């Protein structure tokens, strides 16, 4: 028998997330529009408006094409649906190349949307940016490990923390980012043992994706977990629904009924 959690009753804030560390695993999924954000709202603690939308919804080969304008547009839509879950804005590639630019863009996120936190990719090299953002009242989720915005510079996606040197560097980065003021860490594509060590070593919550079961929470891209994105399925993705198959089945039934004139029937006619 599968255990189903009750919907979340109260508005989730950054403080709620911080207080969940060591108490209860945190759930996060992506959303890009009001319709799905409304369905996900209150079912998970956090909703990430991820730049993954470039891949899942624009069929781009990577996330690098996402712009501030697009991310703001999608976040405004998500905000219409998300009333209880905490909305996190994913800063797109090129929008936080230096602290001042990051601050200006993050201020526009807070001014124009309901997002209560922003996410940026980068280790110690982004510590100053995290510090400036945090000192100016912006909550930062710092994303380390496999960083999709570095895919072209790295020449592909590669699981991190496989060597002792890499593991030590990740652990140091995590501590530096915590010290700089990050309210949480997103750990992507790394050896489970390394993610678990980081989680033990820091006082802020860690959210994992492809980082094993030792983190404080998990995040998945909704179109992956519900089987709508079919181009490929990374090992870490668990499919909780066969969404694309369900849609095709519904469409076929609709098509058959239109062709046979079974739809619309009396019930659906005026
Ligand atoms: O853009 C995104 O959806 C993300 C997740 C993969 C964490 O950054």
**Direct distance between the N- and C-terminal alpha carbons of the chain, in angstroms, rounded to an integer:** 44
User: Average pLDDT over the chain, rounded to whole?
Assistant: 97
Nearby residues of 104 by Cβ (< 8 Å), 6 or more positions away: none
The answer, yes or no, to whether any atom of ligand 1 lies below 6 A from the CB of 54, is no
Give per-residue pLDDT as tens, 29-53.
Answer: 999 999 999 999 999 999 999 999 9
Residue of 28, 47, 51, 217 with the most ligand 1 atoms within 8 Å of its CB, for mutation: 51
Give per-residue pLDDT as tens, 194-214.
Answer: 999 999 999 999 999 999 999
Give per-residue pLDDT as tens, 245-259.
Answer: 999 999 999 999 999
CA distance 191 to 211: 6
CA distance 173 to 75: 28
DSSP for 47-97, please give it: EEE-TTHHHHTT--SSSTT--HHHHHHHHHHHHHH-SSSEEEEEPPTTS-S
CATH code of the domain made up of 14-239: 3.20.20.60
pLDDT tops 80 at residue 119? yes
pLDDT tops 70 at residue 134? yes
How large a percentage of the chain has pLDDT more than 70? 99
Taking the centre of ligand 1 as the mean of its atom positions, its distance from the CA of residue 117, in whole angstroms, is 14
How large a percentage of the chain has pLDDT more than 90? 96
Q: 188 an active-site residue?
A: yes
Residue of 26, 50, 147 with the most ligand 1 atoms within 8 Å of its CB, for mutation: 50
pTM of the model: 0.96
Give per-residue pLDDT as tens, 153-165.
Answer: 999 999 999 999 9
User: Which residue, among 12, 72, 81, has the nearest Cα to 41 in the 3D structure?
Assistant: 81
Q: Which of 188, 200, 257, 267 is catalytic?
A: 188
The answer, yes or no, to whether any atom of ligand 1 lies below 6 A from the CB of 51, is yes
Radius of gyration of the chain (CA): 20
């Amino acid at each position: 028998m599968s255990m189903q959690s009750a919907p979340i009753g109260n508005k989730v804030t950054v403080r709620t997330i911080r207080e969940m560390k060591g108490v209860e695993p945190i759930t996060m999924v992506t959303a890009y529009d009001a319709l799905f954000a409304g369905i996900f709202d209150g079912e998970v603690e956090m909703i990430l408006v991820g730049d993954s939308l470039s891949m899942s919804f624009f069929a781009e080969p990577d996330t690098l094409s996402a712009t501030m304008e697009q991310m703001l547009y999608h976040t405004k839509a998500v905000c219409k649906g998300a009333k209880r879950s905490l909305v996190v804005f994913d800063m797109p590639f090129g929008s936080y190349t230096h602290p001042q630019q990051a601050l200006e863009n993050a201020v526009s996120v807070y001014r124009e949307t309901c997002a209560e936190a922003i996410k940026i990719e980068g280790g110690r090299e982004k510590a100053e940016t995290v510090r400036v953002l945090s000192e100016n009242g912006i909550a930062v989720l710092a994303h380390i490990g496999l960083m999709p915005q570095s895919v072209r510079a790295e020449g592909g996606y590669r699981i991190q923390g496989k060597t002792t040197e890499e593991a030590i560097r990740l652990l140091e980065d995590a501590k530096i980012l915590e010290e700089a003021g990050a309210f949480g860490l997103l750990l992507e594509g790394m050896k489970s043992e390394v993610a678990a060590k980081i989680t033990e070593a820091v006082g802020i919550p860690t959210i994992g994706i492809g980082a094993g079961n030792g983190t404080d929470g998990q995040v998945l891209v909704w179109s992956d977990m519900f089987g709508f994105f079919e181009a490929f399925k990374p090992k870490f993705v668990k499919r909780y629904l066969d969404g694309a198959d369900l849609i095709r089945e519904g469409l076929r039934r609709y098509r058959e009924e239109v062709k046979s004139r079974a739809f619309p029937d009396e019930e659906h006619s005026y």
